[in-house]
Amino acid sequence: MPEGLEAEIYRRAAERTVGRTITAVEVDDLQDTADELRAVLPGLTIVGTHRVGKQVVLDLDDGERLGLHFGMTGRLIVDGASAIDRLEYASGRDDPKWDRLRLDFDDGTHLRVNDPRRWAVFRLDPDLDRLGPDIFDLTPELLAERLRGRRAAIKALLLDQGVVAGFGNMIADEVLWQAGVSPHASAATLSDEQLAAIVEAAQTNLPEMLERGGSHTGVIDPEVRATLPPCPRDGGPLRRDTVGGRTTIWCPVHQTA
């Protein structure tokens, strides 16, 4: 599932298209922007890329921006090569019938978003103002500010893209495990030390996971999620709960409220 780390991997792949001019566009009819994209994009040149949370943005030479959001199973293919071969919960295949967006370029290359479950969303000039600060820009002060007045479970709030942009289910569990904070803990009762630990865990572990290849490379990896071995830190019994409507793996011994 593309979380902020996968979005950054996709952005880096998309960076290769800078300088290319779009000659043809194919869009899944399910996208409510399909007609608009077909009308507007041909003839435009990609001049840059950036990313906020899970949103990858292609900057176009007319000043517009094309926002790519990959949903649960969307993958980016640039020049025929998938930026990520293995995506948890996604099919291992890259079937052309699952192409939801295809941009052909003037030099004969192309970019595709392939998404079996059709939750990817493409739109011009995406509204990024509702997103919180990016996971790579977190500071204790910023996180405290975003959580002010909130009292829901910390994990549910980390997954709220308006609080922090880029956390998905796996890296939220990983960061809380690393920080020693219970996913059930109310944001209203978190200590300054716990907030600092969460930010420290994000700053330390997320770049490492990015370099290792994505959200599935943490301690709480898919194998651990599936088999619930003893906690790798203290040997305690890992638990599988639902928090914020999502499956949550955590250790009640060292992750405290």
Partner DNA sequence: GCCCTTGTTACGCC
Partner DNA sequence: AGGCGTAACAAGGG
Pick from 249, 218, 217: nearest CA to 236: 249
For CA atoms 228, 234, 235, 239, the dihedral sign is negative
Examine residue 156 and tell whether it contacts DNA (CB under 7 A). Answer: yes
Structure tokens that stand for 171 in this block: 């890296």
Q: Which is nearer to DNA, 92 or 108 (CB)?
A: 92
Closest approach, Cβ 192 to DNA, in A, equals 19
Stretch near DNA under the rule CB under 7 A, chosen from 78-86, 104-112, 143-151, 200-208: 143-151
Verify binding: residue 2, DNA, rule CB under 7 A.
yes
Which residue number, 32 or 107, has a Cβ lying nearer to DNA? 32
Ranges within 87-116 binding DNA (CB under 7 A): 89, 91-93, 116
44 or 57: whose CB is closer to DNA?
57
Q: Interface with DNA includes 136 (CB under 7 A)? A: no
Q: Does 16 bind DNA (CB under 7 A)?
A: no
Q: Taking a C-beta distance cutoff of 8 angstroms, is the pair 112, 99 a contact?
A: yes
Binding of residue 140 to DNA (CB under 7 A): no
168 is an interface residue for DNA by CB under 7 A: yes
Residue 67 engages DNA in binding (rule: CB under 7 A): no
Q: Is 32 exposed, middle or buried (CB count within 10 Å of its CB: 0-12, 13-18, 19+)?
A: exposed
Sites for DNA among residues 183-202 (CB under 7 A): 187
> Which of 69, 75, 146, 216 is close enough to bind DNA by CB under 7 A?
69
Distance CA 235, CA 72 (A): 32
Contact 154, 46 (CB under 8 A): no
Which one among 151, 204, 208, 232 touches DNA, defined by CB under 7 A? 151
Say whether residue 72 binds DNA (CB under 7 A).
Answer: yes
What is the residue type of 185? A
Report, in Å, the least distance between residue 142 CB and DNA.
16
Residues of the shown chain interacting with DNA in the complex, contacts defined by CB under 7 A: 1-3, 53-54, 69, 71-72, 89, 91-93, 116-119, 149-153, 156-157, 159, 161, 168-170, 187, 244-247
